Every structure is written in structure tokens, then in C-alpha cells.
Amino acid sequence: MNNKKLTIKANIQILKPTSEVFEAIVDPNKMYNYFISESTGRMEAGKELVWRFPEFDLSFPIKVAKVEAHQFISFYWETDGVEDLVEITLTPFQENYTIVTVQEKERNADESGIKWLQGNTEGWANFLACLKAYLEYGINLRKGAFDFMKK
């Protein structure tokens, strides 16, 4: 088991065109409505950003690797002292719908890796649900959702 690598994968269908979903992910002014509380800039290839989340008193450095308009975003971020690659793929589906797939790579299949897999899979599923609620209904699901986690 220790030779295998763990990868997170989560996806959801959003009833909006890829252009609108893409902008909601790369534009920090839109991300504030469902995901982060602060960002040092827009997600563009080669940029280094810092994200803050409303429920944590932590900063997360983000290194944007690749951005293909309305199709793909990848970045590196550090969690638990390890830098991981996150890939977000936008796939058109039917007329004006988008399937959003998030993959985060990769960790060893050990106790630490399983903890990462559990926590970050939950996090990315939450990201997708919040993105869908914001784009389709104008609702910020994160607002107040994690107040119990603040110390």
C-alpha cells in the first residue's frame, strides 16, 4: 500500500456556462462570495498569491501554474508543510452547463496521506457546493458555516 499515491477528485455540474464559472474561480472579487475572504490578486499563470479563509487565521500561498480561459486552472498550494498541485477542469455539458472537476495531487498512502485525503476531499466538495450555490442562487453557503472552528 505504501507505494501507491493518493489523489483527490471531486466534481459537480453547475447550471451556468463555462465562461461564468471560470470567472467565479479566477476573480477574487467573486471568490469572496463563496470561498475565500482575501486574495492578493486574480489567478493568472505565473502569479504568486496569498489566500485567506474566513474561518481560519492562516494564510495560504498560491502559485498559479497554468490558466486556459474557460477550460482549466492549476495551482500549487501548501497544506501540512507539503506543496500540492490542484487542477480545476471546466467541461461544457449540454447547453450552457459546466462540469467542474477538481483534482489535488498527490500524497503517499500512509496515515498522513489518508488524513490529507479525508480533509481536503471534504474541502473540495464544500468548494464545489459553495460555487454552485453562489452561481445558481446568489447564496454564500460559507457565511457562518464554520464559526464553530474559530478559537
What are the residue ranges spanned by the domains of the chain? 5-149
Distance CA 1, CA 31 (A): 37
Tally the C-alpha atoms within 13 A of residue 112's C-alpha that lie toward its C-beta.
8
pLDDT of 151 higher than 70: no
Place of cell 475572504: 37
Distance CA 70, CA 82 (A): 28
Residue 133 — φ and ψ, nearest 5°?
-60, -40
Residue 112 pLDDT: 92
Distance CA 105, CA 133 (A): 26
Q: Which of the following CATH numbers is that of domain 5-149: 3.40.710.10, 3.50.50.60, 3.30.530.20, 3.40.50.12780?
A: 3.30.530.20
pLDDT of 40 higher than 70: yes
- When the pLDDT of each residue in the chain is averaged and rounded to a whole number, the result is 92
- pLDDT: which is higher, 125 or 80: 125
Summarised one tens digit per residue, pLDDT across range 13-22 is 999 999 999 9
